[in-house]
Structure 1
Amino acid sequence: MSTLDWIVIAAYLALTLGMSAYLARGQFSPDDYYVGGRTMPWWALALSTLATQSSANSFIGIPAFVALVPGGGLSWLQYELMLPLAMVVIAVLLMPVFRTLRLISVYEYLELRFDRPTRLVLSGVFLLSRGLATGVALYAVAVLVEVCTGLPLAWCVVIVGGVTVVYDTMGGMQAVVWTDVMQMMLMVLGIVACGAIALQLAGGVAPVLAALDPSRLDAVQWAHGIGDGARAPLWGFVAGGLVLYISYYGVDQSQVQRQLAAVSVHEAQRMLWLNGLARFPLTLLYAGLGVAVGAVYLQHEALRAAVPAGKPDYLIPYFITMYLPSGIRGLLVAAILAAAMSSRDSALNSLSAATMRDFVEPHITPSRRLVASRWITAFWGTLIVVFGLFVGDLADNLVEGINQVGALFYGPLLAAFLCGILDRRARGPAVLAGVALGLLVNLALYWGLGATLFWMWWNVTGLVVAVLTTVIASRLMPAVTPAPGTVLDGAALRTRLADAHRFCIGLVAYGVVIAMVVVALDRR
């Protein structure tokens, strides 16, 4: 790393902190702190959501999957097939309910619909799973920042985690969103710069395509992943991806919080619409970067020697340090830092919001809630940094490891909300039983009982088990009348579909286009 590289990195970090300090002005309540006073523009919220999902996990993990992971390649594009349809389901079924109830924590819905124990248990599950996942992801990214900068690993954990904690604690949701917008632009610039240099080093498009194993350019694996040993089966991505995306964008606090920060239901729908449109082209950029850098890897012995065996995620960091010129190298390291912080800040803000709203707020006076919110954010940030210092490396491939953890939880979590919104007979104790059994089944599959089942199917197994358990157990209990606005009947659903029909038709048509592009990329 040259002096110019360090100047670029320092300037980026200073700009992030300065922006956060500026945005911290004018905050007077938890509503301002956690949902930006519900006045934030839809396009900024969409870019923030896109930046969070397209984080360092994607910047580093997707190119590594395409270039080096056994059984990988362009088949990762199958992961994107169901995103547009998921956006439609969220925009029509879930988000309007949460917006109408003016929630800050999405788990407030569970108390309004069922009871307080259901809310607290599932909020606690979210806090545990998201806190652990954020600490693991922080460590994984810090290892790669260590490769790029040469700094000690502990320093990298503290820099990535510490800067995120400071600007998130000061600025709340406003800081998260506007720094994510800046980070999104930096990430795209970094991907394009890195890909252009890799393409030049490899000799152009034709030599790149010629260098790679043809199987890595196959975008579709025509398999189901149920006992067939497929590494990236199409139907596993279709079924599991639909459940995962509805759950992640629809009932995960780290994502729903942005929808709650929009001005109106219509603005939140526009946010989902833009995210549904933009994510696939961005994933194509990541995949293209993997193809180009993968060709350089095969052509250059030095890069092959530098990347440790069994550590494909080191590909992009070593490529940056070895082949990019001074200044551009600093820009790309700043892009990795941006990608890392864009996901950490959202997780941290959502952890703080759920803790404050679900557990702390009933016990303190309104005048103390804003200060308490900042202290809770700082607490979670410190805890995650400490955990990141000691967690160790838990996954061979970052992007797959993070998504496997999500696949354990997302199905059962989604079941709780779907049963609440769609089934008037659903009861809180039955929901808890369903979530517990769905999670136990998924853990059994994770520990080897379903060794022949592709991991994306865990999203489906968790959902199905939890829904069936909830429906059956609820009918063994006395019926109760749900609170107004917490259950969606047929008439309300038809009204929402009529109001959002253009949104729905457009995204479904776009989903068909994505499917056609992915199939067209298949070389077999």
Structure 2
Amino acid sequence: MSTLDWIVLFWTLFSIAAFGIYKTRGKKNLDSYLRGKNSMNWWTIGLSIMATQASAITFLSTPGQAYEDGMRFIQFYFGLPIAMVIISATFIPIYYKLKVYTAYEYLENRFDLKTRTLTALLFIIQRGLGAGITIYAPAIILSTLLGWNLTLTNILIGMLVILYTVSGGTEAVSITQKQQMAVMMGGMILAGIIVIQLLPISFGEALHVAGKMEKLNVVSFEFDLADRYNVWSGMTAAVFLFLSYFGSDQSQVQRYLSGQTLTQSRMGLIMNGFLKIPMQFVILFIGVMVFVFYQYIQPPVFFNKVQTEKIKSSEYAGEFESLESQYEASFQEGRVAYQEMLAAIESDQEEKADEIKGRIQDIKKEQSLIREEVKSLIVKNDPDAETRDTDYVFMRFVMDYLPPGIVGLLFAVIFSAAMSSSSSELNALGSTTTIDLYKRSMKKDASDLHYLRSSKAFTAFWGLGAILFATYASLFENLIQAVNLLGSLFYGTILGVFIVGFFLKWIRGNAVFIGALLSQALILLVHFKNGVGMMGFYWDIGFLWYNAIGCLAVMGFGSVAQLFMKK
């Protein structure tokens, strides 16, 4: 990167952190630290909610996913507005009426202490691991692209977040997220405009190419339980995930509990429901335009430049150069075919266009085989190398083709996204540990100042734990999907407990506690035996459905347990 890029990157990151500390300086009590003095207006809440959900993974992985799989991922969010309306009508009024610090306080009022503690612990386990992955997933890619030490990258992201989150609490998180959201969306929209300007064909022709190659596949009505991204999973299974995430995950609940009024909190949540889909559409569309760009401008045979540089200086350099030559010849053949297909489309020769599309698909298969051979060489040279390179597609394009200053801004987008989602997680972990475990079950009668200091200490503790986990997270695979998977393993059970509390008034504490334990055991069984089966039964279920299964299982097991207890 150029000197200008480094200036833009570090000025953006440190100015946001400093602004958060400055705006929230001064003595606080526990209420203002955890609920931000209930001073947030609806648009601040809405932006904070969006920034919490929009992790760095969103901006690193989503364009690469569109490059590889088209825009069908957008269907994952189709159920979001429905979930926001349900939460606004049911969850938020109850939280405001009880004046809770955390969502889990409600569960003791409705059930008992053990149900509250169990649900809080499930959240802490899930979100504690998730915080480490949220830091590690972008750090592994950014450290590779920038040539930084991975551990130092983890520490940089983590310490910046700890600094302003511990200092200012919920208010600091919400204030900085406004700035971070402006950087994120401004940077991505600017990148999208530049991508379109760099296209060697017109924008209309690019749309023709993307449509013909099935990259504009926004809607799919095909029902398949193993498919995570279609209308049916988006409007059913994903609704359960969003209900749990926005309705019972403290990292989101804490965002709207800081609202000035119930109406302000509702408006902020609804704002998120209706702006998130366009936001994801823009990010996915940028990925599709990068795909079109690379059909006319030759892409690297492997997008992780660090690994290709390693292999060029290894004993496999000759084999790699040979594969690169084969890939270049295949690309040139494909570029000619794209020009022919575009000419056929513009002259309304659909049959000819389809015939050429078949030829292009054959060329794509040939290129995929060459890429697989390259990946095999990379693994031979470095057995620990990660061969999944779609997450490097967008940032490699940024570094190779975008002008100085914009490159630094796009890296600031990624770091800002990592910081915004991590700060919400640490803020929520600190408040849940303080309110639901420490204050409720360990030290019940201390002063307000003591609990304020405890909350700050727990926030710093979880931040350091996230950095430590991120340092050793290379022991795990498929980290980009791990965040959503990790949530799906626990969210269904947590949501089920809340749904029982809100709507199944005849089920009591002991029954729902048993139901939650059995539900969590069932979800873990379904996951670890997914695609394998047991005792003659086989199933292959996309992890989004875990949320629906877990929620319904709590309701079912809880109902049966309550009937037996009555007898």
**Where does 1:32-431 land on structure 2 (aligned, <5 Å)?**
32-68=32-68, 72-203=69-200, 204-212=202-210, 214-226=213-225, 230=227, 232-307=229-304, 309-362=387-440, 363=443, 364-392=446-474, 394-396=476-478, 398=480, 400-431=481-512
Report if aligned partners of 1:45, 1:177 keep a CA contact under 8 Å in 2: yes
Q: Which residue of 1 aligns with 2:527?
A: 446
Which amino acid in structure 2 is aligned with residue 387 of structure 1? Answer: F
Report if aligned partners of 1:225, 1:452 keep a CA contact under 8 Å in 2: no
Which amino acid in structure 2 is aligned with residue 341 of structure 1? Answer: M
Report if aligned partners of 2:114, 2:513 keep a CA contact under 8 Å in 1: no
Offset, 1:445? 2.3
Q: How far apart, CA to CA, are the structure 1 residues paired with 2:26 and 2:294?
A: 50
> Which string of whole-angstrom CA distances, capped at 9 and with x for unpartnered residues, describes residues 146-180 of structure 1?
13422111111111111111111111111100110
Q: What TM-score, normalized to structure 1? A: 0.86
Offset, 1:478? 5.2
For the pair shown, which has the larger CA radius of gyration, 1 or 2? 2
Consecutive aligned runs of 4 or more in structure 1 exceeding 6 Å deviation: none
For residue 404 of structure 2, give the secondary structure of its aligned residue in structure 1. coil
Task: Name whichever of 442-451 and 91-100 sits farther off.
Answer: 442-451
Which amino acid in structure 1 is aligned with residue 522 of structure 2? Answer: V
Structure 2 unaligned blocks of 5 or more: 305-374, 376-386
1:466 aligns with 2:547: no
> Which string of whole-angstrom CA distances, capped at 9 and with x for unpartnered residues, describes residues 338-392 of structure 1?
1111110100100001001112224132231222221111111011001101111
Offset, 1:200? 2.3
Offset, 1:98? 0.9
Offset, 1:202? 2.4
Offset, 1:211? 4.6
Offset, 1:238? 1.7
- Relative to structure 1, is the Cα distance of residues 223 and 393 closer, same or farther in structure 2, using a 3 angstrom cutoff? farther
Offset, 1:207? 4.3
- Relative to structure 1, is the Cα distance of residues 301 and 231 closer, same or farther in structure 2, using a 3 angstrom cutoff? farther
Q: How far apart, CA to CA, are the structure 2 residues paired with 1:365 and 1:230?
A: 52
- Relative to structure 1, is the Cα distance of residues 234 and 201 closer, same or farther in structure 2, using a 3 angstrom cutoff? same
Offset, 1:36? 0.2
Q: Which residue of 1 aligns with 2:564?
A: 476
Which amino acid in structure 2 is aligned with residue 433 of structure 1? Answer: I
Offset, 1:394? 3.7
Q: How far apart, CA to CA, are the structure 2 residues paired with 1:38 and 1:190?
A: 30
- Relative to structure 1, is the Cα distance of residues 231 and 13 closer, same or farther in structure 2, using a 3 angstrom cutoff? closer
Q: Which residue of 1 aligns with 2:335?
A: none
> Which string of whole-angstrom CA distances, capped at 9 and with x for unpartnered residues, describes residues 38-69 of structure 1?
1221210110101111221211222121112x
Offset, 1:302? 4.1
> Which string of whole-angstrom CA distances, capped at 9 and with x for unpartnered residues, describes residues 426-458 of structure 1?
222222222222222222222223642222211
Report if aligned partners of 1:312, 1:397 keep a CA contact under 8 Å in 2: no
For residue 120 of structure 1, give the secondary structure of its aligned residue in structure 2. helix
Q: How far apart, CA to CA, are the structure 2 residues paired with 1:98 and 1:397?
A: 33
Offset, 1:299? 3.4
Which amino acid in structure 2 is aligned with residue 413 of structure 1? Answer: I
Offset, 1:117? 1.2
Q: How far apart, CA to CA, are the structure 2 residues paired with 1:37 and 1:360?
A: 22
For residue 139 of structure 2, give the secondary structure of its aligned residue in structure 1. helix
Q: What TM-score, normalized to structure 2? A: 0.80
Which amino acid in structure 2 is aligned with residue 178 of structure 1? Answer: I
Of the three residues 416, 422, 434, the one matched with 2:515 is: 434
Q: Which residue of 2 aligns with 1:510?
A: none
Q: What percentage of aligned pairs have identical amino acids?
A: 32
Which amino acid in structure 2 is aligned with residue 470 of structure 1? Answer: G
Offset, 1:140? 0.8
Task: Name whichever of 466-475 and 124-133 sits farther off.
Answer: 466-475
Q: How far apart, CA to CA, are the structure 2 residues paired with 1:15 and 1:384?
A: 23
Q: How far apart, CA to CA, are the structure 2 residues paired with 1:451 and 1:402?
A: 23
For residue 217 of structure 1, give the secondary structure of its aligned residue in structure 2. coil
For residue 310 of structure 1, give the secondary structure of its aligned residue in structure 2. coil
For residue 305 of structure 1, give the secondary structure of its aligned residue in structure 2. coil
- Relative to structure 1, is the Cα distance of residues 393 and 178 closer, same or farther in structure 2, using a 3 angstrom cutoff? farther
Which amino acid in structure 2 is aligned with residue 460 of structure 1? Answer: A
Report if aligned partners of 2:25, 2:167 keep a CA contact under 8 Å in 1: no
Report if aligned partners of 2:166, 2:459 keep a CA contact under 8 Å in 1: yes
Q: How far apart, CA to CA, are the structure 1 residues paired with 2:74 and 2:400?
A: 28
Q: How far apart, CA to CA, are the structure 2 residues paired with 1:423 and 1:306?
A: 52
Report if aligned partners of 1:85, 1:242 keep a CA contact under 8 Å in 2: yes
Report if aligned partners of 2:78, 2:231 keep a CA contact under 8 Å in 1: no
Report if aligned partners of 2:166, 2:460 keep a CA contact under 8 Å in 1: yes
Q: How far apart, CA to CA, are the structure 2 residues paired with 1:357 and 1:174?
A: 18
For residue 66 of structure 1, give the secondary structure of its aligned residue in structure 2. helix
Equivalenced residues, count: 473
Q: How far apart, CA to CA, are the structure 2 residues paired with 1:208 and 1:156?
A: 37
Which amino acid in structure 2 is aligned with residue 454 of structure 1? Answer: G
Q: How large is the RMSD of aligned CA atoms in angstroms?
A: 1.9
Q: How far apart, CA to CA, are the structure 2 residues paired with 1:216 and 1:191?
A: 19
Which amino acid in structure 2 is aligned with residue 218 of structure 1? Answer: N
- Relative to structure 1, is the Cα distance of residues 40 and 324 closer, same or farther in structure 2, using a 3 angstrom cutoff? same
Which amino acid in structure 2 is aligned with residue 390 of structure 1? Answer: Y
Report if aligned partners of 1:168, 1:345 keep a CA contact under 8 Å in 2: yes
Q: How far apart, CA to CA, are the structure 2 residues paired with 1:121 and 1:64?
A: 38
> Which string of whole-angstrom CA distances, capped at 9 and with x for unpartnered residues, describes residues 440-486 of structure 1?
2222222223642222211111111111011221233359xxxxxxx
Q: How far apart, CA to CA, are the structure 2 residues paired with 1:381 and 1:210?
A: 47
Report if aligned partners of 2:303, 2:389 keep a CA contact under 8 Å in 1: no
Which amino acid in structure 1 is aligned with residue 213 of structure 2? Answer: P
For residue 103 of structure 1, give the secondary structure of its aligned residue in structure 2. coil
Task: Name whichever of 17-26 and 55-64 sits farther off.
Answer: 17-26
